[in-house]
Structure 1
Amino acid sequence: MSVETPEKWFDPEATTFGDRLAGARELAGMTQAQLAKRLGVKKKTMDDWENDVRDPRAMRLSMLAGLLNVSLLWLLTGKGDGPGDMPDPTSFVRSGHQLLDEVRAVSAQMKLNAERLERVERELQDLLKADDAGAA
């Protein structure tokens, strides 16, 4: 399958699973052999899938969707997030670093709050001791 642009190859009414698989693979810049190797299957198996001779098992379907950065629903039906619709995986990496920074900031704030709480508790205990001593 030769893919020029996503608009020219994908028609949800006309494409088969094999068409979607081949198109997404090509848009991902992989050959059949490269994708087959990453999946741990033979190139012939990949060819059979793309030509709708055989269907992959559920675990391989999930792996295909992940490797091709498409939703499983799209791969199976043509509906949902296809090539170019899924979020950029690197955005999760940046978000992960941002979350880690926030966790560190909250942790530092919690340490300061704990120290402040200990200080206020000591002051309260001293005040209560002074009140008890004055009442006696």
Structure 2
Amino acid sequence: MSDEIYAEHVATLGDRLTAAREAAGLSVDALASELGVRPETLEGWEADQAEPTAPLLSQIAARLAVDADWLMMGTGTGPQQQAPAAGQSELHELRRLLAEASRQLGRLEEALKHG
């Protein structure tokens, strides 16, 4: 993000979420899919129109490799301070696959309930 749009001392949760998502190289659609939420929901969080629940905030922080405290208050480790970890892309891919498998499992369970 450019300095005109994002300044750490005035950044909101939505600003930090957007910055972390972009630093991770993820689109809104990709992150929303991994989290199991609609893209519009994620866009609402990024626009500070709503906030994710605590469990989702923890999941977001883990996925984006930032501290949950950084997302909420700007303290702790944000995307700028990170050194690329070995295997990070493999971890991201495994998390994506796990999220997709979880969604498929939910759909299958629903289909089996309704015969």
- TM-score normalised by L of structure 1: 0.58
RCO (CA 8 Å, sep 6+): is it higher in 1 or 2?
Answer: 2
Gaps of 5+ in 1: 93-136
Task: Please point out which of 60, 67, 77 is paired with 1:81.
Answer: 77
- 2:68 alignment partner in structure 1: 72
Measure the CA separation in 1 of the matches of 2:82 and 2:10: 22
- 1:38 alignment partner in structure 2: 34
- Residues 36 and 81 of structure 1, relative CA distance in 2, 3 Å threshold: same
Amino acid at match of 2:17: L
> Equivalent residues in 2 for 1:42-57 (5 A)?
42-57=38-53
Task: Please point out which of 36, 51, 58 is paired with 2:54.
Answer: 58
Kindly provide the CA deviation profile for residues 61-85 of structure 1, in whole angstroms up to 9, marking residues without a partner as x.
0010011110011010011100042
Task: Please point out which of 12, 20, 24 is paired with 1:24.
Answer: 20
RMSD (Å) for aligned C-alpha atoms = 1.9
> What percentage of aligned pairs have identical amino acids?
37
Measure the CA separation in 2 of the matches of 1:19 and 1:63: 17
- TM-score normalised by L of structure 2: 0.68
Say how many residue pairs are matched: 87
Amino acid at match of 1:36: A
Do 1:24 and 1:68's aligned partners in 2 also have CA atoms closer than 8 Å? yes
Do 1:32 and 1:46's aligned partners in 2 also have CA atoms closer than 8 Å? yes
- Residues 35 and 91 of structure 1, relative CA distance in 2, 3 Å threshold: closer
Do 1:73 and 1:80's aligned partners in 2 also have CA atoms closer than 8 Å? yes
Select the structure of larger CA radius of gyration.
1
